[in-house]
Amino acid sequence: MSSDKKNEPSIKDLHTSALPRAGEKILDVARDLFYRQGIRAIGVDEIVKRAGVTKPSLYRSFPSKDELAASYLRQYDLEFWDRFDEAVNAHPGNPRAQIAAFLTRIGKRTQKPDYRGCGMTNAAVEYPEHGHPARLVSEANKQEFRRRLRAMAASMGAEDSDMLGDGLLLLVEGAYISGQLFGLGGPAQSVARNADLLIEASLKK
């Protein structure tokens, strides 16, 4: 890796650069708590206590807990696409290999003891009201993911690319949930292999 690459700011750095230092600490703490325990389960008092800041400091950076939750998910969204693009860039022009690489990483993550699925999916379940700030971020992420999977299915020459793309999306969402239910040794570990079988079946004439 070149020295220029090493000195490039991370996606997290770019996202938090506009926040005051207290805001960065609050977002870091909130991200950990929201992901591990759920957004609704964590109150503002717990966040400021863990971050070692005052409640006014939180509201100077985030107008409300809802906006803090949305900020957490916007950061999550950036990191999600960073991982996705890394898999795509590793296999230029080969969408089947790109999908396999991305899902292999998901399968491995589901085997970790602290795995809590996808923060976007979890937030959408927690907030059924469609206008909620956290829900809006989650919906946008899932819609874009669906669009990309359908486009990749089309570039593979699937007879019904929309159906294949949606099938891949359903497999991924299933891995997010089953990874939490079954843990180590559960079915989510084989999400990449199952996706490849689905692709193979969809490409057969």
Question: How far is residue 169 CA from its own chain's centroid?
Answer: 13
Range of the domain at 47: 3-203
Cα angle, residue 12 at apex, residues 7 and 13 outer, rounded to 5°: 50
Token couple for 74? 């916007």
pTM for this predicted structure: 0.87
101-139 tens-digit pLDDT:
999 999 999 999 999 999 999 999 999 999 999 999 999
Place of tokens 């805001």: 23
Do the Cβ atoms of 17 and 9 come closer than 8 Å? yes
pLDDT at 95: 98
Q: Give dist(CA 62, CA 54) in Å, integer.
A: 13
**How many domains is the chain partitioned into structurally?**
1
Mean pLDDT of the chain: 91
**At 133, which CATH number?**
1.10.357.10
21-55 tens-digit pLDDT:
889 999 999 999 999 999 999 999 999 999 999 99
